Chains A and B, each alone.
Chain A
């Protein structure tokens, strides 16, 4: 992830009012993760699997925080159950930022299956999403997604692809 994309994500998160970040370390987001971990603007809670991250964010939201969960592509599958048992069942918002590995143009064979799982999974989880491929679109997409998740009381995701995760 290039510095311009990292800056755009952090700027978008701050403008959107996000003040709480949970994540599982992931190579695609590593530069971004280092940034948010060291930025005192964010309460930072790293977790050992993405399911825990969904629960942590649910507790944070109900305590007055504005959380976002940075989810590795494969980790969305781990998060699927609590996205169902907490977010869907309780009608809770959550901003999900996901690197879209396996999107067309990502030739690594091991990522191929995530083209089949990622978007269909978000659809069945009742989580609307935007696919963002240009750095210049990142900040506004985050601000828009955060506004929607809070107002709609259901998760909203941003899938980062193309130059945004190069």
Chain B
């Protein structure tokens, strides 16, 4: 199963206001090509995709949040799954695009190429809805079901290594991505996030 094809299916289903948090590396580049949006927060570093997604999900419980995680990213901080489960999230679809490798880091095997089963780990951590998909048909039906039902859904999509050719380059660094996303949340949630002071007090 090609990751890009999974993401293409997912992008066709999403509400424009759905917030997407993406793992650093090819996942973010592919997602940006398919669904460029101010509602994306991409290039989240190793070990932190689930954590950043958790912070957003808890803070904006009325917004749908999709986390596009990698197996290597999640493996670094597996305890994120337990911390997420304990928040009883009602708005989160956490998808791990599991290629069993550190593709962005040279392609060496990750623990899921061995014995680790992220779906079983998530279930053991208390995540209520978990599953593994290996075909595009199953990915489409599982993703659709997860997106249309409130809750905390965890999907492991087993994908091949490798990306697609001629992806547009991501041109935002972290600082610009932060400002863009914060301004987007400010405008859609009517809150003030960025507030530099102009007085001593």
Contacts and interface: CB of A to CB of B under 8 A. Distances in A.
Given A45-B83, A47-B83, A90-B177, A55 B197 contact: no
A150 interface: yes
A52 to B, nearest CB: 5
Interface stretch (B49-57, B128-136, B148-156): B49-57
Interface in B76-93: 77, 79-80, 82-83, 86-87
B83 A62 contact: no
A60 B82 CA distance: 18
Interface in A18-56: 20, 22, 43, 45-49, 51-56
Interface magnitude class on chain B: 35 or more
A120 interface: no
**Secondary structure at chain B's binding surface: helix, strand, loop or mixed?**
helix
B56 A60 contact: yes
Contact of B52 (A45, A49, A59): A59
A55 B73 CA distance: 13
A55 B80 CA distance: 10
A89 B47 CA distance: 15
B56 A63 contact: yes
Nearest to B77: A52
B14 interface: no
A43 B174 contact: no
Contacts of A45: 54-55, 58, 83, 87
A108 to B, nearest CB: 27
B145 interface: no
A75 interface: no
12 contacts: A46-B83, A46-B86, A48-B82, A51-B51, A56-B83, A58-B55, A62-B181, A62-B182, A65-B59, A81-B47, A85-B46, A91-B178
Interface of B: 21, 41, 44-48, 50-60, 77, 79-80, 82-83, 86-87, 174-175, 177-178, 181-182, 185-186, 189, 191-193, 195-197
Interface of A: 20, 22, 43, 45-49, 51-65, 67, 81-82, 85-86, 89-92, 147, 150-151
